[in-house]
Amino acid sequence: MNTFWLLVVVSALAVVSCDDGNKDAELAAVRKKLQMFELLQKFLAAVYASDKKTEQREDCLDVGEECFMVAGPNCCGFSNWCNYDDECFPGDANNPPRCINRCRPGSLTRWMEKKL
């Protein structure tokens, strides 16, 4: 984001300080890059806004709760993942072994959230 604002300031200074000489090509290049950064900013804002909406849903599960891979309530959010066969119980003579899927935080996504 800081790069975007730096580009805005540099382009504003270029507009103010340039004459009508051969800087028109440079100005056009700066405008083109500025348009690309604005488009990128809108795209990232839309992605970030959609992440907020998913975490606010009522059917999202917290970390440690039982989740389902296909149907039923599921883990939501950026770092909350449904781990398949997370917790397994051994079987005995009357019951087969049973595994439960649980919502767990992913290590890479947890690290990325701290950096953002």
Residue 69 CB neighbours (<10 A): 10
pLDDT over 90 for what percent of the chain? 5
Q: What pTM, to 2 d.p., does this model score?
A: 0.41
pLDDT in tens, 54-66: 455 677 788 888 8
- Over its C-alpha atoms, the chain yields an Rg (Å, rounded) of 25
Structural domain spans, the chain: 65-89+97-114
pLDDT over 70 for what percent of the chain? 69
Structure token digits, residue 49 = 């806004």
Structure token digits, residue 102 = 């649980």
Least confident of 26-35, 37-46, 67-76, 81-90: 67-76
pLDDT band at 81 (very low <50, low <70, confident <90, very high): confident
